[in-house]
Amino acid sequence: MKYYSLNGTAPAVDFRTAVINGQAPDKGLYFPGTVPVLDADFWEGIGRYDDHAIARRIILPYAGDSIPEAELARIVEETLSFPVPLRPVSESMHVLELFHGPTLAFKDVGARFMSRCLSWFARGLDGRVVVLVATSGDTGGAVAAAFHGVPYVDVVVLYPKGRVSPVQEAQIAGAGDNVHALEVAGTFDDCQALVKQAFADTNLREALYLTSANSINVARWLPQQFYYALAWKQWPRKDRPPVLSVPSGNFGNIGAALLLHRSGLPVQQFVAACNANDGVARLLAGTPGERRAAIATLSNAMDVADPSNFVRILELFGGDTAALRQMLRVTTTTDDQTREAIRAVYERFGYVLDPHSAVAWHGLQQGLPPGEHGILVGTAHPVKFPGVVAEETGAPVPYPPAIAGLMERPLQKEPLAVSYDALRTRLLALR
Ligand SMILES: *Cc1c(COP(=O)(O)O)cnc(C)c1O
C-alpha cells in the first residue's frame, strides 16, 4: 500500500515511512492510495472469525508490505488484548465499550498498535525515535502507557496545565523512564501549535527522528477500524444495520469508521457527536464563520477547534460535502445536555456514561430516525471523570483494578512555557 500526502506535493511512501514520518514533509496527512474492499462473505459471516482474525484481515492490506505477516499477527494480538463488548442499554441503543484497555479510553488500541509498529521499524535506525504528542487529555495517557519501556523510542507529551483530569494527568506524568511529560502553560491548541512547529522544523528533524502519535499517524488511525468490525460482529440485527454515533474531537475515530464503511462495513447512518466545539458542524452547514479557539467542556478530550482528521474524511468523499452530509450527521451538545444525558441514562437504564459517551448519547437521540436502532460509542470509562459523573448519578464511581495503583505513582512533569524555543531545546537534549 502506498500512502500519499493530502497536501499533494510530497512523494507517496510505504507504510513504514508513513509511520516513521507521521506527517508528510509537505505537512499533509497521509492517506491510503486505495481502500481495500472486504467481500460480502466476510461481513455476512463475521461471527465465524475470532477478533484477532478480523483485525488481521482489516490491517493486512494496509501494513502487509512493511511488516512480515507473522509479526503483524503478534502486533494485532498484543494490541487487542482486552474485550470490546457491545452492551444493550435500552430497546433501541447499544453501547460499544472501548474503555477496557490499560488507560480506560479508546485510544489504547491505536497507541498500542503504533508503538509496536514503530518499535519494529526503529530497530533498524541509527538514532533514537522521538514521539511527540500534544494531548487534550486521553491521547497522552494512552501513548505514555503504550510506549513506556519500549526500546529505541522516547515519548514527549505536551498537555495543557489545569485542563486534564487527575487520572489523565497520572497516566501522562506517572509513567517516567522514556516518557517525558511537559505541562504547558496554555491551551490544547497551544500544545498542538508547538508540536506542529517542531514537525515543520527541518533542522530539528535532521537531528532527531521525530514522529507524531496523534491520530494523524496512520498507525494510530487505521487500527481504530477494528472496533467497528467487532461491533458489527456482535450486532444482533444483521438485517438492519445500525446508526452509529461516535463522540468526536479530532475526527480520527469517526474517520476510521467511515473508512471501514468504504471497505463494506454495514452502517445505516453516521453521527459525529461533538460538544460545544462546533467547527465541523458549521462547516458542513455552509456557515463556517471565523476561526475560533477551542472551548473547554466536560468532555475535554473533544475540545478541538480545528479537527486535524477532517481532511481525511473529505478525501474519502472526494471533497463532495453533499455526499458526506448524506452519510454523516454532525451534532453538538452543551455541557448541560451532557449532564442531563448522564443523569437520564443512569435513572432510566442504570447505565453510567462518561461525559464523552454522554455526548454520543445525546447525538444519537438527535440522529436516530424513529424505529431505528443505534450504537453509541463509549470512548472513556466513567471513572476518569468521577466528579461530574457522581454529581449526576448520586453515586461514586468505583476505581476498576486496572488503574488502582495509578494514583499512587509520583508525578514526573516539567513545566513548559508556550515557547517554541523552549520546546526545541528540550527535544534536542534527548539526543
Ligand atoms: C480522543 C477522544 C475522543 C475523540 O476522538 P477523535 O478521534 O479525536 O475524534 C472522544 N472521547 C475520548 C474519551 C477521547 O479520548
**Three-state SS at 122:** helix
Q: Which residues of 212-236 are buried (b: 16+ CB within 10 A; e: fewer)?
A: bbbbbbbbbbbbbbbbbbbbbbebe
- Average pLDDT (218-246) is 97
- Average pLDDT (212-228) is 90
Distance of CA 215 to the CA centre of its chain: 6
Closest-CA residue, ligand 1 atom 14, reads: 301
Q: Is the CB of 165 under 6 A from ligand 1?
A: no
**Pocket probe mutation, ligand 1, options 253, 254, 303, 385, max atoms within 8 Å of Cβ:** 253
Enclosing H/E stretch for 156: strand 153-160
Q: How many Å lie between the centroid of ligand 1 and the Cα of residue 257?
A: 13
What is the pTM assigned to this prediction? 0.89
pLDDT of residue 332: 97
For residue 282, give the C-alpha cell. Answer: 458549521
What would the pLDDT profile of 92-112 be if each residue is shown by its tens digit?
Answer: 999 999 999 988 889 899 999
pLDDT of residue 290: 84
pLDDT of residue 126: 79
Question: Which backbone phi and psi does 286 adopt, to 5 degrees?
Answer: 80, 15
The 8-class DSSP code of residue 5 comes to E
Q: How many Å lie between the centroid of ligand 1 and the Cα of residue 423?
A: 25
pLDDT of residue 389: 96
The end-to-end CA distance of the chain, in Å, is 32
More confident residue, 287 or 155: 155
Q: How many Å lie between the centroid of ligand 1 and the Cα of residue 357?
A: 10
Closest-CA residue, ligand 1 atom 15, reads: 138
Which residue do the cell numbers 516518557 mark? 179
Q: Is the CB of 249 under 6 A from ligand 1?
A: yes
Residue 400's closest CA among 103, 18, 194, 135? 103
Please, which pLDDT band fits residue 395 given cuts at 50, 70 and 90?
confident
Q: Is 70 exposed, middle or buried (0-12, 13-18, 19+ CB in 10 A)?
A: exposed
The 8-class DSSP code of residue 292 comes to -
Of 208-212, 229-233, 297-301, give the range with the top mean pLDDT.
229-233
Q: Is the CB of 247 under 6 A from ligand 1?
A: yes
Cα atoms in the Cβ-side hemisphere of radius 13 Å centred on 424: 15
Please, which pLDDT band fits residue 22 given cuts at 50, 70 and 90?
confident
Taking the CA of residue 105 as reference, the ligand 1 atom at the shortest distance is: 13
Q: How many Å lie between the centroid of ligand 1 and the Cα of residue 350?
A: 24
Taking the CA of residue 250 as reference, the ligand 1 atom at the shortest distance is: 8
Distance between CA atoms of residues 175 and 111, nearest Å: 15
Q: How many Å lie between the centroid of ligand 1 and the Cα of residue 203?
A: 32
Q: Is the CB of 105 under 6 A from ligand 1?
A: yes
Distance between CA atoms of residues 272 and 351, nearest Å: 22
**Pocket probe mutation, ligand 1, options 297, 302, 306, 354, max atoms within 8 Å of Cβ:** 302
pLDDT of residue 402: 65
- Average pLDDT (158-162) is 96
Q: What is the identity of the amino acid at 103?
A: T
- Average pLDDT (76-99) is 95
The answer on pLDDT for 275 being more than 70 is yes
Distance between CA atoms of residues 50 and 407, nearest Å: 35
The answer on pLDDT for 400 being more than 80 is no
Q: Is the CB of 215 under 6 A from ligand 1?
A: yes
pLDDT of residue 4: 98
Q: How many Å lie between the centroid of ligand 1 and the Cα of residue 252?
A: 8
Distance between CA atoms of residues 344 and 69, nearest Å: 47
Enclosing H/E stretch for 30: strand 30-32
Cα atoms in the Cβ-side hemisphere of radius 13 Å centred on 77: 6
pLDDT of residue 214: 67
Neighbours of 237 (CB within 10 A): 8
Q: Is the CB of 356 under 6 A from ligand 1?
A: yes
Arithmetic mean of pLDDT over the chain:
93
Percentage with pLDDT > 90 across the chain: 77
**Pocket probe mutation, ligand 1, options 95, 107, 143, max atoms within 8 Å of Cβ:** 107
* 247, β-bridge pairs: 273
DSSP secondary structure of 227-247: HHHHHHHH-S-TTSPPEEEEE
The 8-class DSSP code of residue 105 comes to B
Q: How many Å lie between the centroid of ligand 1 and the Cα of residue 50?
A: 26
Please, which pLDDT band fits residue 368 given cuts at 50, 70 and 90?
confident
Q: How many Å lie between the centroid of ligand 1 and the Cα of residue 293?
A: 18
Q: Is the CB of 204 under 6 A from ligand 1?
A: no
